[in-house]
Amino acid sequence: MIRTMTLTSPPPQSTEAFDILVRGLTGDPPPALFLDVDGTLLDIAMRPDEVIVPPGLRRALARIHDGLDGAVALVSGRPVDELDRLFAPLRLPAAGAHGAHWRTHSAGDTERLPDIALPAAIRADLTALQARHPGLILEDKQSSIAIHFRERPALARALATAVTGIVEAAGDNSVTVLPGKAVLEVKRSGFDKARAIRILMASEPFTGRRPVFIGDDVTDRVALDAVSAAGGIALSVERPIGRVAGVFASAADVRDAIESVAELMETPN
């Protein structure tokens, strides 16, 4: 059964983006909340394994999950099992690795796209590229490989050329390079965060709801635009991206907004 979420007046320090978020989480049809992780819920760290999940954020997400009858999902470039480790003991519906795998219920099994592993030659060449440049971080997600250059920003242009060259030399048109914040990710085409949200929206408890998505990077643009085009609410972080209705100044502001929404939420018994 879908419960109605009631919010009291937003706190005085609310930003325009917070006000838009509140409007997106009220009214009919009931909402479904989708949240990017790195750069949106969490501050980006120098290394992917150094991010910090504040305990208060876990509690707030758990409360909103309950208030929306489970219609809250993490939509991330990180694999679903890694999201589970980060947010433990909280376990939410999620789409990971840019939609390569997903889970529609917090207690459900993770489904995965078949046959999307990268060619062995590309994997070997990217590993060798990382080995030649100390400070680069290679993150192997099985369905994709991300090379982070936050510690070597001067390599950005040369690295983009090298990674693009590796992909083109492989001669596989199904492999693409996805640029992000100080990262280049090599993955198969045909799946992304927009597709992931569509899959979730086609399943309970999300079906029939109005999507609300917050993202921070160009990797989120396709999902932000898709949510907006579907009549949902799209919000970005730090700068406008695509067809967004509002912008949060920082990930810290998004966390404050999530915690405020959780505090304002009243779930009828």
Domains and CATH numbers, the chain: 19-111+191-264 (3.40.50.1000), 120-188 (3.30.70.1020)
Give Cβ neighbours of residue 27 (< 8 Å, ≥ 6 apart): none
Which residues does the annotation mark as catalytic? 36
Of 17, 34, 25, the C-alpha closest to 247 is 17
pLDDT score, position 66: 94
Tens of pLDDT along 65-91? Answer: 999 999 999 999 999 999 999 999 999
pLDDT band at 266 (very low <50, low <70, confident <90, very high): low
In whole angstroms, what is the distance from residue 166 CA to residue 19 CA?
45
More confident position, 166 or 268: 166
pLDDT band at 29 (very low <50, low <70, confident <90, very high): confident
Instruction: Say what percent of the chain tops pLDDT 70.
Output: 93
| Neighbour-count burial for 125-152, b at 16+ CB within 10 Å, e otherwise | bbeebbeeeeebbebebebbbbbbbbeb
Helix (H, G, I), strand (E, B) or coil at 214: strand
Q: What is the DSSP string of 144-185?
A: EEEEE-TT-GGGHHHHHHHHHHHHHHHT-TTEEEEEETTEEE
pLDDT score, position 206: 97
CB atoms within 10 A of CB 29: 10
Average pLDDT of the residues in 181-200:
94
Whether 222 shows a pLDDT value over 80: the answer reads: yes
In whole angstroms, what is the distance from residue 71 CA to residue 200 CA?
9
In whole angstroms, what is the distance from residue 256 CA to residue 14 CA?
9
